[in-house]
């Protein structure tokens, strides 16, 4: 899970790190699906070497999908997974390696979280089943027929845990899939495939990171290897940063409610937005349109999050004012990762002081920059935190606790009162839907240049429209029933009795399916209402009352059951010690791997930031230990409701009332909402597992396992697959022939070093696998899929290289990508959450959806919406003219100088881009912390000259700092071998008419092409500036004054004195329309975010 909401925060704050994936779709010819040829160049203009799949992020959505009917068998889950992996492979097209990692046995620190999730899942499933049974009885009393409950293999998602039968069969299915693709897909012919299944200990993403860390800096490793890691967990971003590999991307799908962003709110149909609506009639699905839209499978779009761009942002964002020594970017990156641990991770409860939705990361970064000089160095040295500096830093953060808690309590009270008031109004029927006429709306795609985007959530207008459409559908259903009855009568009268019976049966089936869907909808609504604390008749009393005097003492009394001041102080000290141990454990886990398999945080709650004192006096040591066996972990994380996934004798320990460890498996438990609104956000107060007691009982029954169960309960190694034509295949054949006489157990002990020249730079060891290395026939374990009769794939056991210290620097010889970010691309520093009064909507960091236009004037699409909603007459230009004259044309766009800079907050069109001097981060020995990183030289991609699509070339020179009230830099030449040009409204890219092309016309780029920022949370262009309306640079028409923001009282825009190029720009820290307005057709630079 990682840090909640971290990805959203990152994509909003640094929009250029996110890039939309260009996806090539299979072609269907005469009903035959032609797959994409993945051997061809990647349409995203970047060729990746290695693709890593965090497989649990694929298994879960295929096990219980949101966008299609739920599978009923393991085979259906596997086929869905194969399609899922195929799609990811088409997007990335790795050329050297595909690494598929499934979660194995986790460290004990993670097992506590897994235990909480699985107990909660079982409790939620029981509540849902009881509520469904009640609804079924209600439907029966009303005479509404329902289909019987269907049996399913996939009724319990808890089986996605190492040691279960499902995970064992999944491993075999994935081996079959790998053989199938290597044999028959041209894009797979030259790659290696490593499968690390659930019998290999470790979390999937951390097994991947261990592979990357241990490959770096070894002979044969290419320092410019391009990595792509696919997964939804936010901590993948921090893990990628921690590798210090520059050429790294995270691939993830954009998470939204299924169908939400692909449904037109004008016609109500799926598959297009309002901007693309053509007003076509809805295509019927089923004879009576009984199937509707629910069978439409929505393919969620994907995005790349580029780590090299994030590193550029951090280079600017984390600049230290007047640093006491030369700053090292690599150390700054490590400190940033460490700071984010305070906001949340999978191994420690989040600190009550810090909530990411309250701007916690902004606060941490602000405090870090403010306190850096007095901290006298970095927070971390590679994998080891400097606890004295950590204490100084976190105490500075804790000084804001009172203000944070006061504001949080105030907002929570307001929210609670508002929701109660709205619910009371809804019960009284105060909310009357506005009268709208959907038929009068004009499809916006009929107008040229439309830039309208559907909103992420339905507006009141949309809700009203949907309710009207729903009412219309209900009437239609009534008419449909009459038509069906008429058909039956007609068939009967014409002696077609058989046909009439069939028709009646079809009608009954339709009715049953409709009732089933109605049941599912009502069940979801009821469960959602029950999970909302604000709907509770007896809401949980907040006894801690953070922010009120005595809140710290009450916290330890309520959460830790402290009775006396002495007991409270002893508990506080132990909590701080264990939490500090946790910070050190997590940092080591991210940078070196597991330092203790047995360590865990033994409390449900975290201390306050202000409690972390005397850290440098703590003695913290870890003992490595060994991981649990799979069945032992199942016993530690499963509730009794999932005992069916364990062998018989293990089940009794979980369900027998006389079991000596029955107290580990409560059927009911307390959920502390801890100030949260929804039940899933609460803290499940489960008893922690006593490892000694658990293992003592398990050891007594381990001898009862069958051979198959014993195999599921064992530890195994990764498997390596290559085609027989691969350069590594000969080594595998020779190894297998040499040790053919050995037993399977003896063969595992043999290992031979991999030659990196034969393996595309991969190091490690291979061993002969058990069974046949090259089976001529590979039988399909999935129903409905063919056997592989001419197998050409060979298999071996793969082991990682010997452990060695992780060097927290980019590898020697790396070529850095061309810089995409400069200081002007950063947003002004936000007001800290606890200091923000909330009365400045332009500074609230809420952005318009992509494609919208902000400012005092409405865009063309906005005019059409206004005209449609008011049902006004329009002229041939699409503007209302029932009592106004035709609008005058926009002023012609004058030539604008291609470059500008900010000097004292004013726009100077005669200057060049505000380029910050680049610090050299290559010499670690020159700063105060002496990091043992070895000799390292960084190479920067340095073409002799670089220029954008327009604008003159400039000679290279130096950068001098201008002495002024607001610090700015005068440009005297390029740096890093090139320079950046900027123009108002376009950021650092020049296009033909002063505006970038439309989003769907952008040319994709890898490292050498400019790329449209794919952040769906903002309407910024690739440099953070607002996207202008289509065609705004030409002789467009101005909207009537009565339809502009502000009405007739707003003064019209006038060209400023001195021509179009001489207008003044608000200072970078100001927002909105506070100063003189820009000329017609021009957009303000990225520093201003327009008028909301």
pLDDT of residue 115: 94
Residue 419 to residue 427: CA distance in whole angstroms: 12
pLDDT one-digit tens code per residue, 301-347: 999 999 999 999 999 999 998 999 999 999 999 999 999 999 988 89
Cβ neighbors of 375 (< 8 A, separation 6 or more) are: 389, 392, 393
pLDDT at 91 over 90: yes
Parse the chain into domains and list their residue ranges.
Answer: 718-799
Report how far apart, in Å, the C-alpha atoms of 871 and of each of 866, 1032, 1051 are: 8, 26, 27
DSSP 361: H
How buried is 975 (Cβ within 10 angstroms: 0-12 exposed, 13-18 middle, 19+ buried)?
middle
- At 899 the three-state DSSP class reads coil
- At 169 the three-state DSSP class reads helix
DSSP 726-776: STTHHHHHHHHHHTTTS-HHHHHH--EE--TTTTTT--SEEEPPSS-SS-S
pLDDT one-digit tens code per residue, 695-705: 999 999 999 99
DSSP 58: H
Compute the Cα dihedral for 124, 134, 70, 526 and give only its sign: negative
pLDDT at 844 over 90: no
Task: For residue 613, give both structure tokens.
Answer: 């004192």
| Average pLDDT score, the chain | 76
Average pLDDT over residues 89-106: 98
pLDDT one-digit tens code per residue, 36-90: 999 999 999 999 999 999 999 999 999 988 767 789 899 999 999 999 999 999 9
pLDDT one-digit tens code per residue, 8-34: 889 889 999 999 999 999 999 988 889
pLDDT one-digit tens code per residue, 808-818: 999 999 999 99
Q: What is the dihedral of CA 533, 536, 542, 545, to 10 degrees?
A: 60
pLDDT of residue 880: 54
Pairing of strands 227-230, 248-253: parallel
Nearest residue to 677 via CA among 420, 457, 426:
420
Average pLDDT over residues 569-598: 97
The CA-to-CA distance between both ends of the chain, in Å, stands at: 34
Q: Helices marked H in 531-678 — which ranges?
A: 551-560, 565-591, 630-637, 648-655
Cβ distance 55 to 204 under 8 Å? yes
What pLDDT band is residue 949 in, cutting at 50, 70 and 90? very low
Neighbours of 532 (CB within 10 A): 14
E strands, 1007-1055, are: none
What pLDDT band is residue 357 in, cutting at 50, 70 and 90? confident
Average pLDDT over residues 437-447: 42
What pLDDT band is residue 187 in, cutting at 50, 70 and 90? very high
Task: For residue 23, give both structure tokens.
Answer: 């996806």
pLDDT of residue 425: 82
Cβ distance 752 to 765 under 8 Å? yes
Cβ distance 1043 to 878 under 8 Å? no
Place of tokens 């792509």: 228
DSSP 983: B
pLDDT at 603 over 90: yes
Cβ distance 308 to 473 under 8 Å? no
CA angle, 849 then 854 then 856, to 5°: 155
How buried is 289 (Cβ within 10 angstroms: 0-12 exposed, 13-18 middle, 19+ buried)?
middle
Task: For residue 56, give both structure tokens.
Answer: 């649990």
Residue 357 to residue 846: CA distance in whole angstroms: 12
pLDDT of residue 684: 87
Pairing of strands 901-903, 906-908: antiparallel
Residue 131 to residue 152: CA distance in whole angstroms: 19
- At 1059 the three-state DSSP class reads coil
pLDDT one-digit tens code per residue, 621-643: 999 999 999 999 999 999 999 99
What global pTM score does this model have?
Answer: 0.71
Report how far apart, in Å, the C-alpha atoms of 146 and of each of 286, 506, 519 are: 20, 14, 9
Residue 323 to residue 775: CA distance in whole angstroms: 63
Cβ distance 5 to 357 under 8 Å? yes
Place of tokens 């990156």: 333
Neighbours of 600 (CB within 10 A): 23
Report how far apart, in Å, the C-alpha atoms of 349 and of each of 225, 402, 404, 582, 681 are: 36, 20, 18, 10, 12
Neighbours of 156 (CB within 10 A): 20
DSSP 1037: B
**Numbers of helices and strands, H then E, in the chain:** 23, 23
Cβ neighbors of 133 (< 8 A, separation 6 or more) are: none
Nearest residue to 855 via CA among 611, 1008, 1027, 730:
1027
Report how far apart, in Å, the C-alpha atoms of 84 and of each of 32, 230, 595, 896 are: 19, 12, 34, 48
Residue 207 to residue 201: CA distance in whole angstroms: 8
Residue 524 to residue 98: CA distance in whole angstroms: 39
pLDDT one-digit tens code per residue, 456-490: 444 343 444 444 444 444 444 444 445 445 444 44
| Percent of residues, the chain, with pLDDT higher than 90 | 47
- At 76 the three-state DSSP class reads helix
| Residue 35 backbone phi and psi in degrees, to 5 | -70, 160
């Amino acid at each position: 899970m990682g840090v909640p909401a971290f990805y959203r925060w990152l994509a909003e704050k640094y929009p250029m790190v996110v890039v939309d994936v260009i996806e090539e779709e299979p072609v269907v010819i005469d009903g035959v699906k032609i797959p994409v040829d993945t051997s061809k160049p990647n349409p995203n203009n970047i060729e990746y070497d290695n693709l890593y799949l965090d497989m649990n992020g694929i298994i879960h959505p295929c096990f219980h999908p949101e966008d299609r009917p739920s599978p009923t068998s393991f085979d259906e889950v596997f086929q869905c997974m194969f399609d899922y992996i195929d799609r990811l492979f088409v997007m990335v097209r790795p050329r050297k390696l595909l690494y598929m990692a499934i979660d194995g046995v986790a460290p004990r620190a993670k097992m506590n979280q897994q235990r909480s999730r699985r107990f909660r899942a079982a409790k939620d499933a029981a509540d849902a089943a009881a509520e469904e049974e009640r609804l079924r009885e209600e439907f029966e009393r009303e005479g509404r027929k329902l289909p019987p409950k269907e049996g399913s293999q996939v009724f319990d998602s808890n089986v996605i845990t190492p040691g279960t039968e499902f995970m064992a069969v999944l491993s075999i299915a994935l081996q079959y899939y790998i053989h199938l693709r290597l044999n028959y897909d041209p894009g797979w012919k030259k790659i290696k495939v490593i499968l690390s299944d659930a019998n290999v200990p470790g979390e999937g993403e951390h097994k991947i990171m261990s592979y990357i860390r241990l490959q770096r800096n070894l002979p044969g490793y290419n320092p410019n290897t391009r990595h792509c890691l696919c997964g939804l967990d936010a901590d993948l971003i921090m893990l990628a940063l921690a590798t210090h590999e520059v050429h790294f991307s995270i691939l993830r799908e954009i998470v939204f409610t299924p169908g939400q962003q692909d449904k037109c709110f004008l016609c109500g149909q799926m598959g297009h937005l309002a901007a693309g609506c053509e007003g076509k009639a809805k295509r019927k699905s089923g004879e009576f349109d009984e199937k509707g839209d629910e069978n439409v499978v929505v393919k969620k779009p994907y995005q790349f999050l580029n780590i090299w761009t994030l590193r550029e942002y951090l280079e600017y964002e984390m600049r230290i004012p007047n640093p006491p020594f030369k700053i090292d970017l690599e150390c700054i990156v490590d400190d940033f990762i460490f700071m984010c641990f305070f906001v949340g991770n999978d191994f420690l409860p989040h600190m009550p002081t810090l909530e990411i939705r309250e701007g916690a990361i902004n606060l941490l970064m602000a405090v870090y920059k403010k306190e850096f000089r007095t901290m006298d160095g970095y927070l971390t040295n590679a994998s080891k935190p400097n606890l004295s500096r950590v204490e100084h830093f976190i105490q500075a953060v804790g000084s804001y606790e009172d203000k944070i808690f006061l504001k949080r309590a105030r907002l929570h009270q307001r929210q609670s009162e508002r929701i109660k008031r709205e619910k009371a109004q809804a019960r009284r029927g105060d909310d009357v839907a506005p009268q709208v006429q959907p038929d009068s709306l004009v499809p916006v795609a009929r107008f040229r240049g439309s830039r309208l985007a559907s909103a992420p959530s339905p507006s009141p207008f949309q809700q009203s429209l949907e309710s009207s459409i729903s009412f219309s559908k209900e009437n239609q259903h009534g008419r449909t029933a009459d038509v069906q009855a008429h058909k039956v009568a007609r068939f009967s009268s014409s002696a077609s009795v058989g046909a009439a019976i069939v028709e009646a049966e079809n009608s009954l089936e339709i009715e049953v399916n409709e009732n089933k869907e109605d049941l599912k909808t009502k069940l979801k609504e009821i469960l959602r209402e029950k999970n909302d604390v604000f709907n509770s008749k007896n809401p949980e009393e907040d006894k801690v009352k953070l922010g009120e005097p005595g809140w710290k003492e009450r916290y330890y009394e309520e959460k830790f059951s402290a009775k006396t001041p002495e007991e409270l102080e002893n508990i506080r000290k132990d909590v701080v010690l264990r939490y500090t141990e946790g910070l050190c454990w997590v940092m080591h886990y991210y940078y070196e791997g597991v330092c203790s398999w047995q360590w865990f945080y033994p409390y449900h709650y975290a201390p306050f930031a202000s409690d972390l004192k005397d850290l440098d006096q703590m003695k913290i040591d870890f003992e490595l230990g060994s991981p649990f066996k799979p069945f032992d972990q199942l016993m530690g994380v499963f509730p009794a409701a999932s005992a069916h996934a364990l062998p018989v004798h293990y089940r009794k320990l979980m369900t027998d009332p006389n079991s000596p460890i029955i107290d580990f498996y409560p059927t009911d438990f307390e959920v502390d909402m801890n100030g949260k609104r929804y039940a899933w956000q609460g803290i499940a107060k489960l008893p922690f597992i006593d490892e000694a007691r658990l293992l003592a009982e398990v050891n007594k029954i381990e001898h009862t396992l069958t051979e198959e169960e014993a195999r599921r309960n064992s530890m195994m190694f990764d498997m390596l697959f290559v085609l027989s034509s691969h350069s590594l295949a000969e080594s595998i054949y020779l190894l297998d022939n040499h040790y053919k006489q050995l037993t399977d157990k003896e063969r595992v002990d043999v290992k031979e070093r991999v030659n990196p020249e034969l393996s595309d730079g991969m190091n490690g060891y291979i061993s002969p696998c058990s069974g046949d290395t090259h089976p001529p026939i590979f039988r399909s374990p999935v129903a409905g899929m063919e056997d592989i009769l001419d197998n050409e794939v060979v298999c071996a056991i793969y082991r990682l290289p010997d452990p060695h210290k992780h060097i927290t620097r980019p590898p020697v010889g790396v070529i850095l990508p061309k810089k995409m970010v400069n200081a002007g691309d950063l947003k002004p520093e936000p007001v800290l959450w606890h200091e923000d009064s909330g009365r400045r909507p332009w500074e609230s960091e809420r952005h318009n959806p992509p494609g919208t236009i902000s400012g005092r004037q409405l865009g063309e699409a906005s005019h059409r919406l206004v005209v449609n909603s008011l049902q006004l007459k329009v002229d041939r230009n699409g503007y209302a003219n029932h009592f106004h004259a035709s609008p005058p044309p926009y002023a012609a766009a004058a030539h604008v100088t291609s470059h500008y800079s900010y000097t004292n907050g004013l726009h100077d069109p005669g200057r060049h881009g505000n380029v910050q001097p680049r610090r050299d981060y290559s010499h670690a020995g020159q700063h105060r912390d002496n990091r043992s990183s070895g000799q390292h030289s960084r190479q920067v991609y340095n073409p002799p000259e670089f220029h954008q699509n327009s604008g003159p070339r400039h000679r290279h020179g130096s950068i001098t700092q201008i002495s002024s009230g607001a610090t700015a830099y005068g440009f005297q030449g390029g740096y890093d071998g090139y320079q950046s040009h900027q123009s108002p409204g376009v950021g650092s890219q020049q296009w033909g008419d002063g505006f970038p092309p439309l989003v769907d016309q952008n040319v994709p780029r890898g490292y050498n092409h400019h790329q449209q920022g794919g952040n769906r949370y903002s309407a910024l262009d690739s440099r953070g500036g607002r996207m202008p309306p289509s065609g705004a640079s030409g002789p467009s028409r101005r909207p009537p004054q009565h339809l502009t923001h502000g009405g007739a009282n707003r003064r019209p825009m006038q060209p400023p004195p001195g021509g179009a190029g001489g207008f003044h720009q608000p200072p970078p820290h100001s927002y909105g329309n506070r100063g003189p307005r820009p000329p017609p057709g021009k957009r303000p630079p990225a520093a201003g975010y327009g008028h909301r």
